[in-house]
Amino acid sequence: MKKILFVVSSTGVIGPHNRITGNLLTEVAHPYEAFKKQGYDIDIFSVKGGEAPIDMVETDDPTNITFLNDEGLVRVKEGQLAAVLDLLAELTAKSTAEEGNLVYRIHQSIADVNTLILLEGYKDESALAAHRTSEHFQTLVIGRIIPLLEEREVVVATQL
């Protein structure tokens, strides 16, 4: 099988004012999809290893959403936002350390601060399954975060 090594940035902040930066998701997702359709086996690595920060996610682009194969929307109960954000910080650190994790980002709605969108990407279905059965997922998400939520919607997608 033909192989491609896709190397992406490891940089999450840049410049003297620590401006948030990273990889434009479209610049990763679209070539990835095109190469997959041509039968390539693709590995994605960040320059320094570990997390590959995403700077901009265009959620109206179906290729981007397909690439991020696990997406969730949560609404936090009134008065619980600080606790949920603290737990999500711990969850993010542990999830991005997983071997099969490609991206793990949390976004907050501008219109409703209690609405959070989690964008996750995993190398394959077995990496996603490993994440969901991990001790930190079971303890932090199932045991501690979900009880603090008003609503939770999970969308799992796969690339076509």
- CA distances to 2, 6, 11, 26, 53 from 156, rounded to whole Å, are 28, 23, 27, 19, 21
Residues 55 and 77 in one domain: no
Residues 63 and 79 in one domain: no
Residues 54 and 127 in one domain: no
Residues 131 and 95 in one domain: yes
Q: How far apart are CA 83 and CA 81, in angstroms?
A: 5
Note the pLDDT of residue 158. 58
Q: How far apart are CA 67 and CA 126, in angstroms?
A: 15
Residues 89 and 153 in one domain: yes
Q: What is the DSSP letter of 122?
A: E
Residues 95 and 111 in one domain: yes
Of 46, 67, 88, the residue that ends a domain is 67
Residues 140 and 90 in one domain: yes
What is the sign of the dihedral through the CA atoms of 60, 66, 68 and 74?
Answer: positive
Candidates 124, 120, 117; CA nearest to 159 is: 124
Residues 46 and 77 in one domain: no
Q: Is the pTM of this model over 0.75?
A: no
Note the pLDDT of residue 156. 64
In 21-134, the DSSP E strands lie at 23-24, 41-46, 54-56, 70-76, 101-108, 115-122
CATH number of the structural domain spanning residue 73 = 3.30.70.100
Residues 158 and 108 in one domain: yes
Note the pLDDT of residue 74. 81
Note the pLDDT of residue 136. 92
pLDDT in single tens digits along all 160 residues of the chain: 788 888 888 787 888 888 878 778 788 888 888 888 888 877 777 777 656 677 766 666 777 766 665 456 788 999 999 999 999 999 999 999 999 888 888 888 777 889 888 888 887 778 888 888 889 988 998 889 888 888 777 766 655 4
Range of the domain at 84: 69-160
State both tokens at 16.
């003297």
Q: How many domains does the chain have?
A: 2
Note the pLDDT of residue 48. 76
Residues 5 and 45 in one domain: yes
Residues 90 and 143 in one domain: yes
Antiparallel, parallel or unpaired: β 115-122 and 101-108: antiparallel
Note the pLDDT of residue 22. 78
Cβ 134 vs Cβ 98: under 8 Å: yes
